[in-house]
Chain A
């Protein structure tokens, strides 16, 4: 599948901001199953310093400094990406979840794909007792890792209501869990907390999802949004598998991966420190255009 993706973020400030330093994590990843054919970054006002690099988790990061007074900051990223994932084998290769737990704890590597980084609590995913109790129901003794994880994903999809008004970025996971409402980010965090509570490695993935318009309607430009899902480690043999609890589906050719990390804090698309005294507002437009 070939995609054209446009992601435009505009910050408007009430008073002029004389200095800003930001990091961007908005470029799709290069990895098996996903190829970036082109990408372009346009920032206004023009940054005085700009640098690109790859972070620990393998995400492409741009660091910008803007040292002229500005009332608005616009970051526009355009990428063309090809996604070709082989279908997952029809039979389940994953060992029991207890075996995965032992295997993960014994992992002998600190490389970014190593499961050891995704076992512990992280900034936005504490080891929540409620999330553990919820997830434990999907993992009776001896069940295969992948079967358990898919069951958990299905239950979150069924039990939780998608409600953009219910949470904001800073809402603690426990609240989304208690109210059974939130957005893709909350569902991913709840699922990760539950899995890690059981000692199972789970990562947070940010990216885009191809939206298919209802029959007979045209695709609306700019109506898409960033998306987030979970990647679960199913033992050395099978490795990482993407599970999307918002849509109860395996992540495949409809998903474009931008960044992986332990939780949203590792992959947040735009972080920064500005010097200024006024308020601000933000506007985000995302357009995921399938080219076939």
Chain B
């Protein structure tokens, strides 16, 4: 057999392996195969290419896609016991399925036209509802079907719509019915999520299958985001507007996506606390004072946007935002009240509203829906109850369901059904009945490498650009992990897949980059929000605090290994080491055996001063500044966390403990190296640096007080040199043994030693000097006054004036400096600002 024939044969085998166990469900449409079991044409290229790859190559490509996601910080998971862990590890809710959903161009144009029509329709309904409400007055839409929505924000009735558009980004969930037509399952008008995941999936797939991606003429996504950006900017009043993405914060389910999109689109990621109102304008609190925010892309619910006029309990928005909107001083996208049109109650009226407003039929029908607030519709639902899904007309939870999901009446027992009938009869206005639709299936790759049919829903996005609506050619496809094709059982889906719109001709290459002549060169981007500065400062401090504890523990364990602790002369240094660990809250008290103390100092996360606890704080502060740290930095933090985790209470040997501390210190050194070599020298880096240096200077002062007294034993001075990593330098400079004056000079004043206190203070002063000032009188701000004086003092000090009191005073002045930095640059109203009810 020829080589070619052999390759043909193995290709056929691979195809059999892939498709052999593929079974479309009865009575539903399948994307891959038609009713006769033939593969549909848009899949042929894809399968052909896939079966060209041997198992090894396919595995390599899939691994490449995974690596891309993990490099972007998307799917790397350490462990997840809580939402916080999920967030910290960047785990996303929908791992990627590696097979894209291909859609032929013709079919896509139908979807596109339908989505644009629906977006225009919903925009028109919003304009009417918050304006003259003619649709209601003329009877096209019952008032009660609007008033019941918690997203009908009454304070915005009659208010201006800065930018002129309620919906800047619209999404709808589609499913394909058994007849092959696409149906709208639901609308997303509040703050649609998933576009960032779609983009991320696309980048991963394009990297793994570049040749396939090109040869199949897959339409690009970049122009959609370009359009989104242009649309959101067009409403701003100033020429170079500041655009903020307002996030609910790191505990939000889709925080990763928000941080990712902010970075991709070049928006400033802010939380409610970062914003403040002045003169009916929204401002961002930055280290250089208040800076106006022109455009806010909100990812918080509209009701949370303004605690003064909306939900008074909200801590996510900014008090007065609605007034800024009324004064047309800020563009908020989507408009805070836009969620009102995503209710199921509204779906029942869209077919007629489309006729009333646009004079056309809906191009994409929505799932047949009956709002039970009307007598005739209520009767229809009650008559046909058994075949219906019953759902909240708005977004409340029905009894027996959660997350606003519908109830399948056929699955209720007689008692529950009776209760439901009773409830609908009493307050029909709260309910809709919906037809139970079956949606189509698409292939996903199972663990054995063969394809399985799974139901899916497709989220498609439209954005209002200055040239009209534009639809993202692609989308966010979510597949179910169950074999039930009824759309209502889809929930949020289990996996996601890229969506490929296959153009008939080669596609243009578009990136987010504007034409070269329009790019203004910038070296520093915007102003650093105070909250971010705060977190970076503390990130630096906790990193260095962890390092201090690790050094203490390593030295302690080293001494325990090397010395005979029964020798009286050796006892003192060890006692002092253990004493410092206890004083720092890293280890339990004096009677605890040394090995247990060392173990706790490394792994005892419940001791606030332990290395594990410090690294936990490192992770927390790093997670909220994620968009400013490199992926490698996040990885190092994950790595440190894993090193310091320990499930068993089993004590390690001294040697094992020593090694753990040593390796963790190496990871910290790598982090410092990354910050030094790879981080932009913007204000963010400066705060990280100041935090580190302050903490290191303080730690070193504490070491000096504990081990560097006038009458310290040589052994203690030796420990001190160990702790500041200066043994070799000392030995090379001084041929005699350790002695007080040379050691203490090296620890405190030697400006050539990068671990001395004087070195830290000189660096701090240089960085503080480079921070922005808001004083207009030319006088020095408080932090600089302190750092300059302190740096002059230690630079001119001599070892004969050093005693414990002197070292303590340096330490206290450093703490004072830290406070002054916090007061000046962090929340401008004081470091402990809280927001409360007046």
- Whether chain B is bound by chain A comes out as yes
**Given A63-B323, A105-B373, A197-B427: A116 touches B147 (CB 8 Å cut-off):** yes
Q: How far is the CB of A66 from chain B (nearest CB, A)?
A: 9
Partner of B838, one of A56, A197, A265, A270: A270
Q: Which residues of B contact A21 (CB under 8 A)?
A: 277, 308, 319-320
Please indicate the chain B residues that have their CB under 8 angstroms from the CB of A31 in the complex. Answer: none
From A121, which residue of chain B is reached at the shortest CB distance?
B396
Q: Is B830 positioned at the interface, with any CB of A under 8 Å from its CB?
A: yes
Q: How large is the interface on B (under 10, 10 to 19, 20 to 34, 35 or more residues)?
A: 35 or more
Smallest CB–CB gap between B436 and chain A, Å? 26
Interface string of A102-139 (1 = CB under 8 A from B): 10111111100010110111010001000000000000
Number of A-B contacts (CB under 8 A): 120
Cβ of A160 to closest chain B Cβ, rounded Å = 24
| B837 surroundings in chain A (CB, below 8 A) | 271-274
The answer to the question of A268 belonging to the interface, with a C-beta cut-off of 8 Å to chain B, is yes
Known contacts A19-B829, A270-B838, A275-B829: does B428 contact A105 (CB below 8 Å)? Answer: yes
A55 CB-CB contact with B under 8 Å:
yes
B135-159 interface bits toward A, Cβ cutoff 8 Å, 1 = contact, 0 = none: 0110100111011100000110100
Find out whether the CB atom of B829 lies under 8 angstroms from the CB atom of A18. Answer: yes
- Most A CB atoms within 10 A — which of B133, B137, B836? B836
Residues in A neighbouring B323, C-beta threshold 8 A: 51, 63
Q: Which of A22, A55, A102 touches B375 (beta carbons < 8 Å)?
A: A102
**Closest chain B residue to A279 by CB distance?**
B836
Kindly report which residue of chain A lies nearest to residue B136, judged by CB atoms. Answer: A110
Interface members, chain B 534-562 (any A CB < 8 Å): none
Across the interface, name the chain A residue whose C-beta is closest to B277. A21
User: Inside 8 A of B312's CB, which chain A residues have their CB?
Assistant: 265, 268, 271
Q: Are B137 and A109 in contact (CB under 8 A)?
A: yes
Interface centre among A49, A65, A268, A275 (most CB of B within 10 A): A275
How long is the Cα–Cα vector from A55 to B322 in the complex, in angstroms?
12
B279 within 8 A of A: yes
The verdict on B309 contacting chain A, using a C-beta distance below 8 Å, is yes
Q: Name A170's closest neighbour in chain B (CB-CB).
A: B313
User: Once the chains bind, are B157 and A56 in contact (CB under 8 Å)?
Assistant: yes
B139 touches A108 (CB 8 A): yes
Q: Which residues of B contact A68 (CB under 8 A)?
A: none
For B429, give its contact among A23, A63, A199 (CB under 8 Å): A199
- Contacting A at CB under 8 A, from B191-225, are none
Judge if B835 is at the interface, Cβ distance under 8 Å: yes
- B415 contacts chain A at the CB level, 8 A cutoff: no
0 or 1 for each of B334-362: is its CB under 8 Å from A? (1 = yes): 00000000000000000000000000000
Interface bits A184-220 vs B (CB < 8 Å: 1, else 0): 0000000000000111000000000000000000000
Q: Across the interface, do A56 and B833 meet the contact criterion of CB distance under 8 Å?
A: no
Query: Is B800 an interface residue, CB under 8 A from the partner?
Result: no
- Whether A110 contacts B146 by the Cβ 8 Å rule is yes
Contact among A20, A56, A271 with B154 in the assembled complex (CB-CB below 8 Å): A56
Per-residue contact bits, chain B 240-279, to A (CB 8 Å; 1 contact, 0 not): 0000000000000000000000000000000000000101
Nearest-CB residue, chain B, relative to A196:
B427
Whether B764 is near chain A, meaning CB under 8 Å from some CB there, is no
**Which A residues are in CB contact (< 8 Å) with B129?**
110
Alpha-carbon distance A280/B837, docked complex (angstroms): 10
Contact of B307 (CB < 8 Å), options: A20, A123, A273: A273
Task: Give the distance in Å from the alpha carbon of A107 to the alpha carbon of B429 in the complex.
Answer: 12
Decide yes or no whether B426 CB sits under 8 A from chain A. Answer: yes
Closest A residue to B827 by CB, please name it.
A275
- A197 proximity list for chain B (CB < 8 A): 426-427
Q: Across the two chains, which residue of chain B brings its CB closest to A136?
A: B426
Are B834 and A275 in contact (CB-based, < 8 A)?
yes
Give A28 to B305 CA distance when docked, in angstroms: 28
Known: A56-B154, A273-B307. A108 touches B829 (CB 8 A): no
Give min CB distance, B601 to chain A, whole Å: 33
A110 close to B308 (CB less than 8 A) = no
User: A123 contacts which chain B residues (CB < 8 A)?
Assistant: 311
CB distance from B322 to the nearest CB of A (A): 10
Contact indicator A105/B429 (Cβ below 8 Å) = yes
Check B148–A120 contact: CB distance below 8 A: yes
Task: Report A-chain residues with C-beta under 8 Å of the C-beta of B147.
Answer: 110, 114, 116-117, 119-120
B147, closest chain A residue (CB): A116
A104 CB → nearest B CB, Å: 7
CA distance A123 to B319 in the complex (A): 18
Closest chain A residue, CB of each to CB of B279: A49
Complex: chain B residue closest to A277, CB-CB = B832
B838 touches A22 (CB 8 A): yes
Contact of B144 with A107 in the complex, beta carbons under 8 Å: yes
Q: Are B136 and A276 in contact (CB under 8 A)?
A: no
Residues of chain A within 8 A (CB-CB) of B142 are: 105-108
Quick check: B429 and A276 within 8 Å, CB to CB? no
Residue of A nearest to B394 (CB): A120
CB atoms of B830 and A55 under 8 A apart: no
Chain A's closest residue to B133 (CB) is: A110
Residues of B within 8 A of A11 (CB): 838
Chain A residue nearest to B156 in the complex (CB):
A56
Chain B proximity mask over A48-91: 1 for CB below 8 Å, otherwise 0: 01010001110000010100000001000000000000000000
In the assembled complex, the CB of A271 is this many whole angstroms from the nearest CB of chain B, namely: 5
What separation, in Å, do the CA atoms of A265 and B323 have in the docked complex?
Answer: 19
Residues of A within 8 A of B830 (CB): 18, 277
Which residues of B sit under 8 angstroms from A109, Cβ to Cβ?
133, 136-137, 143
Task: Give CA–CA (A198, B373) in the complex, Å.
Answer: 13
Q: How far apart sit A280 and B396, CA to CA, in the bound complex (Å)?
A: 36
State whether B833 touches A275 (Cβ < 8 A): yes
From B136, B137, B833, B837, name the one whose CB has the most chain A CB atoms within 10 angstroms.
B837
Q: Is the beta-carbon distance between B144 and A116 smaller than 8 angstroms? A: yes
Contact of B308 among A19, A63, A106, A198 (CB under 8 A): A63
- Neighbouring A residues of B148 by C-beta, 8 Å: 116, 119-120
Q: Which residues of B contact A127 (CB under 8 A)?
A: 427, 430
Among A1-37, those with CB < 8 Å from B are: 11, 18-23
Assembled-state Cα–Cα distance A273/B834 (Å)? 10
Complex CA gap A105/B830 in Å reads: 51
How long is the Cα–Cα vector from A274 to B428 in the complex, in angstroms?
A: 42
- Find chain B residues with CB under 8 A from A121 CB: 396
* Cα A11 to Cα B837 with chains together (Å): 11
Q: Is the CB of B143 within 8 A of A116?
A: yes
Kindly provide the distance from the CB of A274 to the nearest chain B CB, expressed in whole angstroms.
Answer: 5
- Report if A73-B155 is in contact (Cβ < 8 Å); known contacts: A21-B277, A119-B147: no
State in angstroms the CA–CA spacing of A265 and B150 once bound together: 14
The proximity string for B residues 422-438 relative to A, scoring 1 for CB distances below 8 Å and 0 otherwise, is 00001111100000000
Query: Roughly how many angstroms separate A49 CA and B429 CA in the complex, as a whole number?
Result: 42
A23 touches B308 (CB 8 A): yes
Give the Cβ gap from A248 to chain B, nearest Cβ, in Å: 27
Q: Answer whether A272 and B308 are a contact pair too, CB < 8 Å, given A49-B279, A108-B142.
A: yes
Can you name the residue of chain A whose Cβ is closest to the Cβ of B373? A105
A122 to chain B, nearest CB (A): 9
- Give bound CA distance, A119 to B394, whole Å: 13
Given contacts A21-B320, A120-B147, A199 and B426 within 8 Å (CB-CB): yes
Query: In the complex, A22→B374 CA distance in Å?
Result: 41
Determine how close the nearest CB of chain A comes to the CB of B421; give it in whole angstroms: 15
* Interface set, chain B 520-540, CB cutoff 8 A to A: none
Provide a sorted-by-A list of 29 A–B residue pairs whose CB atoms are within 8 angstroms.
A11-B838, A18-B829, A18-B830, A21-B277, A21-B308, A22-B308, A56-B154, A63-B320, A104-B144, A105-B373, A105-B429, A107-B142, A108-B139, A108-B143, A109-B136, A110-B147, A114-B147, A116-B144, A119-B147, A119-B148, A120-B148, A120-B429, A199-B427, A199-B428, A199-B429, A271-B308, A273-B835, A276-B836, A277-B833
A21-B308, A119-B144 given; 7 more Cβ-contact pairs under 8 Å:
A63-B323, A110-B129, A116-B146, A119-B148, A199-B428, A273-B835, A277-B834
- Smallest CB-CB A-B distances: 7 pairs: A272-B838, A56-B154, A116-B147, A273-B319, A116-B144, A116-B143, A277-B832
**Which residues of A come within 8 Å of B, CB atoms?**
11, 18-23, 49, 51, 55-57, 63, 65, 73, 102, 104-110, 114, 116-117, 119-121, 123, 127, 197-199, 265, 268, 270-277, 280
